[in-house]
Amino acid sequence: MIGQRDTVSGAHFAFTDRWGGVSAVPYEELNLGGAVGDDPGAVGANRELAAKSLGIDPARVVWMNQVHGADVAVVDGPWGSAAEIPAVDAVVTARRGLALAVLTADCVPVLLADPVAGVAAAAHAGRPGMLKGVVPAAVRAMRSLGADPARIVARTGPAVCGRCYEVPDAMRAEVAAAEPAAHAETSWGTPAVDVCAGVHAQLERLGVRDRQQSPVCTRESDDHFSYRRNRTTGRLAGYVWLD
Choosing from 42, 73, 134, 161, the residue that interacts with Zn ion (CB under 5 A) is 161
Least distance from C-beta 216 to Zn ion, angstroms?
9
Candidates 19-27, 29-37, 114-122, 164-172; binding stretch for Zn ion (CB under 5 A):
164-172
Q: Is 164 in the site for Zn ion (CB under 5 A)?
A: yes
Question: Sign of dihedral through CA atoms 39, 134, 18, 26?
Answer: positive
What's the rounded Cα separation, in Å, for the pair 138 and 170?
Answer: 29
Residue 130: name the closest of 216, 197, 51, 218 by CA.
197
Least distance from C-beta 138 to Zn ion, angstroms?
25
Q: Is 195 in the site for Zn ion (CB under 5 A)?
A: no
Residue 131: name the closest of 178, 89, 86 by CA.
178
Binding track, positions 204-223, relative to Zn ion; x by CB under 5 A: -------------x-xx---
CA distances (Å), origin 122, targets 37, 49, 90, 183 = 24, 20, 6, 25
Candidates 135-143, 156-164, 176-184, 193-201; binding stretch for Zn ion (CB under 5 A):
156-164
- Residue 85 vs 164, nearer CB to Zn ion: 164
Least distance from C-beta 229 to Zn ion, angstroms?
10
Rg (CA), the chain: 17
Least distance from C-beta 186 to Zn ion, angstroms?
9
What's the rounded Cα separation, in Å, for the pair 107 and 201?
Answer: 16
Least distance from C-beta 184 to Zn ion, angstroms?
10
- Residue 98 vs 159, nearer CB to Zn ion: 159
What's the rounded Cα separation, in Å, for the pair 192 and 22?
Answer: 35
- For binding to Zn ion (CB under 5 A), which residues are involved? 161, 164, 217, 219-220
